[in-house]
Structure 1
Amino acid sequence: MSSSQPVEDPASTASPDHRYLLDNARVEAGERFTWLAELFDGVTRGHLDRLGLTEGWRCWEVGAGGPGIPETLATAVGPTGHVLATDIDPAWLDPHAGYEVRRHDVVADPPPQPGTFDLVHARLVLVHLPDRARALATMVAALRPGGWLVIEDADTELQPLACLDEVGPAQRRANRLRGATRELMTRRGANLRFGRTLPRVLRAAGLADVAAVGSFPVGGLACARLEAATVRMLRADLLAAGLADDAEIDAHLAAVDAGELDLTLAPLISAWGRRPG
């Protein structure tokens, strides 16, 4: 991600493209889910444990993507609980792993089993949705009185760099390409400042006991592997938009593979609130 101003595309402003940029159908999606789980599943589980996640709970994992959190929830709630994992493309989920899998669009479809869930959780979902207010209302409607909603989303404007320590050309190139990725996300309707709004958004949705924390990793294998998978996934989009060229992308991937970069991510803001009653 670059601190420079993104290139404005008048055509995209006039007719925005709201297709999901990080499509589950792309071959790199599974690799991204693996490394996102390595980086953030422990963070998420810590928050859920503090809210009292235990046997017998009914849980809805929204926009699950990969199997990490659904499997964690299924283990925690045991045979007396129930976990529903949904996604617009649930291809990476395992319907035989102790949780229910269902294709569901949280914007377009009504809430499954409204008013019944002890926990509804979504990570890195709302930030990508232009109609995130409708999606949030669907999730709130699914909660039972006293149930918890946990939303975790990135805020890339809070920390826009791929390399915090910009000491040389490889680090500057990494930050330019991160900026290009941010531009692609913006053109697809993402709100790169959404994470910081979560406490206010949850209060406005009528939830009580709202709180939030932020975290982000710096360096390490998981950050490097996630970066490589993401850049490979977005390569054609970056080229088509004129935001990068083949030589720049190849050089960046070589630097990542060589372990030359201490890569980081945008802060993950985790926020939660309870439906009163």
Structure 2
Amino acid sequence: MVRRAIERHVGTVTSATAVAGGQNNHLAAVVHGGVSGPVFVKAVRGISRPMRFLRNEITAGVLADGIAPAVVFSEEVDADDRWLIVGFEYLPGRPADLTPGSVDLAVVGRTLDRIGALPAPGIRGLHERWTVPDWWSRVRDAAPAVAAGWDVERMDRWAALAPAAVEGDRLVHTDLHADQFIIGTDGTVHVIDWSFPGAAGPWVDMAFMVIRLVDAGHSPAAAEAWAAERPSWTSNGDALTAFAAFVAGLWTYRAVTDGADGPWVQAARDYAAWRVGVAVG
């Protein structure tokens, strides 16, 4: 059924190569043999959060034209469970290198400036999603050892300021990391996996990237110095501190309750500690 739907749009499929890492999709593959050449296909089954995420990627293909992958086709198929099947332009390339001294850092910065200049009509504001003010208290309740050494009340006070700090009307990706950038051999850059877009201030994606730079080996000060060279950055230190406290609390809570852990979570805590001036013991 899914294959027939794909072939209605791209012609006869001769082969398909599965793509790893598509945990939000029931199908993620590069499809070969169609009249338009290779197409990257994602498909989800059933009305669900993953289906909404995939719809977000369709929207991003319009709002971030030339940055997000273009949508080749999309179709909903009603069967026992509804399927949403989307074909995106196939973008061969490599991920960005975010380590100190990488030549990719300038390309990443320019791409973030391009995204930060885009309006976000119809996209829910990040300030409307960030409604929990006490992630740090929740971390302490769920995993006291992880919260040890932190002034939890102080962190919650900063985090409570984050919704107002990030409010804005520019498009933000909110989940940027090295693998979300596809750098082609001709130097073109695309940003993929727009499952969680939002509307926010133009600096917000840059702030998320600062955390990823810390994860890649930059000091917090060096990561912010890199960001400060870009026009989409903000000089509002309180906004950055509120952002850092909120993200570190949210990511840490997810790590201790859902297992959504990784070195980026420690990087978020390191950045928050630096911004807030907390001595972690």
TM-score tier (shorter)? under 0.3
Give the TM-score taking structure 1 as reference length.
0.28
**Which has the larger helix fraction?**
2
Give the TM-score taking structure 2 as reference length.
0.28
